[in-house]
A and B are shown apart, each in its own frame.
Chain A
Amino acid sequence: MISLSSVSKRFDGKRQVIALDAVNLHLEKGEMVSLVGPSGSGKSTLLNLIGGLDRPSEGDIRIDGTLLRGISDDELTRIRRDKIGFIFQFFNLLPTLSCLENVSLPLHLRGWPAAKINDRARELLSLVKLEKRLDHLPEELSGGERQRVAIARALSVYPPILLADEPTGNLDSNTGVEILGLIRELHERLGATVLIVTHDRGVAESCPRQIALKDGHIVMDKKG
């Protein structure tokens, strides 16, 4: 489903940073994988590369068999559209749109008909138990509720891949557990491949496969 071969990412600022150094990685369809590592070890960079938000300095990335190298920005966007759902640490909801509109956003962008969009958005919001908050603006919600909206948005197109970058990083621990439970439930129901960055040992260990990064290298890859 996802495969990286010798992927490196350098940032050429005033000082050159090697965020990822020749990483090889292969994720099967339907896997649920946790990614841990100290801050600055390259976790977000890895996720951004897989999600096509950024391009590697070297190496090849394949998503569902498609090689990302050499394709245009718009083709990259199309792959992201069809295959990938993102959940961010800082939710990244659009502040002027209601919950329903935020969840509908990806569907609108794909040009779905209005009625179908409405059905799907409502369905997902009830899946994350926010069916009573359809017309609220993000600023009227709690942190956990916002992240649930973000999850609903990420899942709105039933993406085969779900990428979550510290989804509980900005939430208190109870809410964090709740959100993770939700992600796991959705993983089981929709069968999506899930890659989740986390600082929480418990969360990491509860995943069938665990990967650890350090200084841009994979230092552990453990199954079961």
Chain B
Amino acid sequence: MRLLRLISWQYVRKHLLRTVLTMAGIVLGVAVFVGMHTANQSVLSAFNKTVDRIAGATQLQITAGESGFDEEVLERVQAVPGVRVAVPVIEAVVNLNLKSQGNILVLAVDMTGDRGLRDYDLEEGDDTVIEDPLVFIAQPDSLMVTREFASANGLVINSKITLAAMDGPRTFTVRGIMKSSGLTSAFGGNLAIMDIYAAQKVFGRGRKFDRIDLAANEGVAVPDLQKQLSGMLGAGYEVESPSARGKQFESLSSVYGMLANITSLFALFIGMFIIYNSFAIAVTQRRSEIGIVRALGATRGQIQTLFLTESAILGLIGAGVGLLFGLLIARAISASLGNFLGEIYGVAQKADEVSSDPRLLFGALVMGVVTSVIAAWIPARAAAGVDPVQALQKGRYQQLSAGENRVRRQVAAGLFVVVFFCLFFAQNRVIFYSGYFLTVIAGLLLVPTMALWLSRAIRPVLKFLRPVEGTLAADSLIQSPRRTSGAVSALALSIALVISLGGMARASYNSIDEWMRIALNPDMFLTPTQNITDRSFRFPASFAEEIRQIPGVKYTQVVRNARILYKGNPVMFVSLDVANLRPESYLPAIQGDSKTMYRLAAEGKGFIVSDNFAELYKVKYNEPLVLNTPNGRLALPVVGIVRDYSDQKGSVLLDRAVFVKYWNDDSINAVRVYLNSDTPIATMKARIEEKVAGKTRLFIFTNQDLKTYIIKITDQWFGLTYIQLAVAVLVAILGIINTLTVSITDRRRELGVLQAVGALRSQVRGTIWLEAIAIGVIGLVVGLFFGSVALYYSLEMSARDIAGLWLDYTYPWGMAAGLFPVILGAALFAALGPAEQAVRGGLVEALEYE
């Protein structure tokens, strides 16, 4: 400890800036980790709270996927002896087109029984309305809103709100305003209560309910009741506690959590390099000091402990700072995450407070310290190995010896052989990931060699550009491969990441484009919802027929898609009238034969599944897919596997007849309209609107609208991953600053001489800038090369474990070219500070500097 104070503290004080920069990687990694996970947890807990509030005293909920179930189920459930109260619910998301609101969740209930479960604490108004629920029901245009919503929109009792219902516009009357508490704080007050039988008509749900909420009689064990109900209703129904619904939401946000992990791991990994680099440099710079301490009697163990303790303290401080930053950014992230996940639920979920799990915070601290200690391990051993006699002899800094470099190359070559064999057994997950890991290690081992070669290669270029500044910049890199390779590694890693993500994005866009061309070829899409992915409102089955009769319509195709639980996960099921599908809309088969599979599907003899579904749920071609539906077990073979991007977690196509039969649901989400080629879209739009006007809620999307929308969603998805790039580039910049800061210390005398013989300050700055640019170029070249390998592994990884999407390998050349100005700009930016520092120091001291 005393040693630490005497030696390390002095050094840290002298190199404060560098120490701070060294911690930056840890700070960023921990901040991202804590920030993203805290945000995720906060949003989830807010969502769970919302679910709780909406659930009220509900103990069990009965659902049957998104399609709901018939009214008669309610009677059967109510007849079960242990059930104290069972009430039906429909949930729908509506945009009321009011000034201050986005979407609002409508909870449609049966007022007669519902107050046995939920407390609608009304604050004002005609209390008789709810005192006698019959009055509420007798007036099916009744609506209850929250205090927050009412205030925001200037609503009072008896205010009217017009809503475009499935059967034309309907006017609702506000008959109750709920006090701010409990239920009303769900979704930040964006909640309204409506009569369920009115809702069936408004949303086009037929005589169906989404859900039954129930509570058991006193003395009845809930798990027993749950079993009893499950047994009675069959496997097609889910009987769960309300909190189980939060779990489903969690599974949807799991991709996000994974992204958070990858990002923070990456930042930490790069941070590790920066720490390694700093410590390696520090050990060489402090050689004589170490020699003295050793000569005075310190053991090797003590020296090693000294450096490891230094790194642990550094890691702890870095992690601590990262933690604080993380909690700060968590708030911002949770807002955007709430919106992002809100898109899935329909209503944005706000996290009122950012709550952090102490275990998460502790884990983050440990992570920071461990990363730092691992990074300092090798330099600490090198320090322990310093020979006191040699170290005390004055001389130049120990440099990365040619021998050491040769050993690195040999190890790398050995690893590549192993990696090569790994590729042959890549079906095995462990071997695949080991292969990836070893490739990264081998690549990193080669960085010093590559950096050296590249530095030599660009020396003539730099010399040609700027005879003095260029040559000296290149020489600086050639002289200190250890100093250079740390920054180059960090930079190359982040560039490799950019390339692999960019490549994935490009591949995705290409595939999605191709898919849209085939699968989304209708001229128009008619939906009852403003948002194409929302399914709250539905057309009646007869609607398509009405449209077909409009002159200019060639034919129509009806779509009903719904998330249905498959093995506990909400999977997108798409039902179409497959027989009516034209061959030009057939997706090419990855497995199976395109024509045959559509024929079989049309005959109701099979499912066509997307490749990501098959991959994620390990479903095989020709093997049966078993589903529990409200009408019993449905087992059909998978007759074909196609590439389909309807949903990130995979999709299943089945014939409409099968869907209607097993789910008792003949409603329609969307009508795809094909037009005769001679009628302009605008004319057709007008004709359809005229025919439907005032009768049905309708939104028309042209083919172009939809494509734009899908591209936008894809952009958003990749936009999220670009956060990762920003982090990576930032860390790389810090790496360059760190390296240059060391470089100007090492080159102080040289820079002094340069000024003494007449270099202007701009010329001194120039050489630092050129050094930064050279590091940037080398990092780019190495990184673009690494990127080509990383892209391969990323595509494999996404196919195997993330999205189950197989994408073609295409190197993103455009992006690679675009990276040059970005990275070189960043490098120049990184060089600004060090360059200023280089011209600021006293010349006399620099010249005497030993």
- Interface: B757 (CB within 8 A): yes
Shortest Cβ distance from residue B455 to the other chain A in the assembled complex, whole angstroms? 12
Interface residues of A in 76-110 (CB under 8 A from B): 77-78, 80-81, 86, 88, 92-94, 96-97, 101, 104-106, 108-110
Q: Which of A29-37, A46-54, A60-68 contacts B (4 or more CB under 8 A)?
A: A46-54
- Interface: B817 (CB within 8 A): no
* Chain A contacts for B757, CB-based, 8 A: 86, 105-106, 109, 153-154
* Chain A contacts for B52, CB-based, 8 A: none
- B753 and A80 form a contact (CB under 8 A): no
- Interface: B759 (CB within 8 A): yes
Assess A97 versus B471: contact at CB under 8 Å? Given A54-B842, A54-B844, A77-B761: yes
- Interface: B472 (CB within 8 A): yes
- A80 and B758 form a contact (CB under 8 A): yes
- A96 and B472 form a contact (CB under 8 A): yes
* Chain A contacts for B761, CB-based, 8 A: 73-74, 77
- Taking chain B's interface residues, is the majority helix, strand, or loop, or is none over half, making it mixed? helix
The interface centre, meaning the residue of A77, A104, A114 with most chain B CB atoms within 10 A of its CB, is A77
Shortest Cβ distance from residue A87 to the other chain B in the assembled complex, whole angstroms? 11
- Interface: B549 (CB within 8 A): no
Shortest Cβ distance from residue B275 to the other chain A in the assembled complex, whole angstroms? 29
Chain B residue at minimum C-beta to C-beta distance from A48: B844
- B763 and A109 form a contact (CB under 8 A): yes
* Chain B contacts for A105, CB-based, 8 A: 468, 754, 757
Interface size class of B (residues with CB under 8 A): 20 to 34
Chain A residue at minimum C-beta to C-beta distance from B839: A73
- B758 and A92 form a contact (CB under 8 A): no
- A109 and B843 form a contact (CB under 8 A): no
- A78 and B760 form a contact (CB under 8 A): yes
- A106 and B758 form a contact (CB under 8 A): yes
- A51 and B756 form a contact (CB under 8 A): yes
Assess A94 versus B756: contact at CB under 8 Å? Given A54-B842, A77-B761, A109-B468: no
Shortest Cβ distance from residue A180 to the other chain B in the assembled complex, whole angstroms? 22
Assess A96 versus B763: contact at CB under 8 Å? Given A53-B756, A54-B843, A114-B467: no
Shortest Cβ distance from residue B223 to the other chain A in the assembled complex, whole angstroms? 79
The interface centre, meaning the residue of B471, B755, B757, B762 with most chain A CB atoms within 10 A of its CB, is B757
A53 is contacted by which of B472, B759, B844 (Cβ under 8 Å)? B844
- B475 and A96 form a contact (CB under 8 A): yes
Assess A92 versus B749: contact at CB under 8 Å? Given A86-B756, A86-B757, A109-B757: yes
Contact with A along B818-850 (1 / 0, CB 8 A): 000000000000000000000100111001000
* Chain A contacts for B758, CB-based, 8 A: 77, 80-81, 106, 109-110, 157
Contact with A along B751-791 (1 / 0, CB 8 A): 01111111111110000000000000000000000000000
CA distance A77 to B847 in the complex (A): 15
* Chain B contacts for A104, CB-based, 8 A: 467
Chain B residue at minimum C-beta to C-beta distance from A110: B758
Chain B residue at minimum C-beta to C-beta distance from A156: B757
- A74 and B760 form a contact (CB under 8 A): yes
- B749 and A77 form a contact (CB under 8 A): no
CA distance A97 to B754 in the complex (A): 12
Interface residues of A in 103-160 (CB under 8 A from B): 104-106, 108-110, 114, 153-154, 157
Chain A residue at minimum C-beta to C-beta distance from B475: A96
* Chain A contacts for B754, CB-based, 8 A: 94, 105, 109
- Interface: B390 (CB within 8 A): no
* Chain A contacts for B756, CB-based, 8 A: 51, 53, 80, 86, 92
* Chain B contacts for A93, CB-based, 8 A: 753
- Interface: B479 (CB within 8 A): yes
* Chain B contacts for A77, CB-based, 8 A: 755, 758-761
- Interface: B240 (CB within 8 A): no
CA distance A37 to B531 in the complex (A): 90
- Interface: B750 (CB within 8 A): yes
CA distance A54 to B842 in the complex (A): 8
* Chain A contacts for B749, CB-based, 8 A: 92
Shortest Cβ distance from residue B148 to the other chain A in the assembled complex, whole angstroms? 63
CA distance A97 to B479 in the complex (A): 12
CA distance A157 to B502 in the complex (A): 53
CA distance A92 to B759 in the complex (A): 15
* Chain A contacts for B475, CB-based, 8 A: 94, 96-97
CA distance A78 to B758 in the complex (A): 7
A94 is contacted by which of B467, B472, B844 (Cβ under 8 Å)? B472
- B471 and A101 form a contact (CB under 8 A): yes
Contact with B along A35-49 (1 / 0, CB 8 A): 000000000100010
CA distance A81 to B759 in the complex (A): 8
- Interface: B478 (CB within 8 A): yes
Shortest Cβ distance from residue B399 to the other chain A in the assembled complex, whole angstroms? 12
Chain B residue at minimum C-beta to C-beta distance from A117: B467
A92 is contacted by which of B472, B478, B847 (Cβ under 8 Å)? B847
Shortest Cβ distance from residue B842 to the other chain A in the assembled complex, whole angstroms? 7
Shortest Cβ distance from residue A162 to the other chain B in the assembled complex, whole angstroms? 13
* Chain A contacts for B753, CB-based, 8 A: 92-94
The interface centre, meaning the residue of A44, A48, A157 with most chain B CB atoms within 10 A of its CB, is A48
CA distance A81 to B760 in the complex (A): 9
CA distance A88 to B757 in the complex (A): 11
CA distance A54 to B475 in the complex (A): 28
* Chain B contacts for A101, CB-based, 8 A: 471
CA distance A80 to B753 in the complex (A): 12
CA distance A53 to B755 in the complex (A): 9
CA distance A74 to B479 in the complex (A): 29
- A96 and B760 form a contact (CB under 8 A): no
Contact with A along B445-482 (1 / 0, CB 8 A): 00000000000000000000001100110010011000
Assess A94 versus B750: contact at CB under 8 Å? Given A80-B756, A109-B757: yes
* Chain A contacts for B843, CB-based, 8 A: 48, 53-54
Shortest Cβ distance from residue A9 to the other chain B in the assembled complex, whole angstroms? 10
**What 8 new A-B contacts, CB under 8 Å, besides A92-B752, A157-B758?**
A54-B844, A73-B839, A77-B755, A77-B761, A96-B472, A105-B754, A106-B758, A109-B760
| CB-CB nearest 10 A-B residue pairs | A81-B758, A96-B475, A108-B468, A108-B467, A53-B843, A106-B757, A92-B753, A109-B758, A54-B844, A106-B758
10 A–B contacts, CB within 8 A, in A order: A54-B842, A74-B761, A77-B758, A80-B756, A92-B752, A96-B475, A108-B467, A109-B758, A109-B759, A109-B760
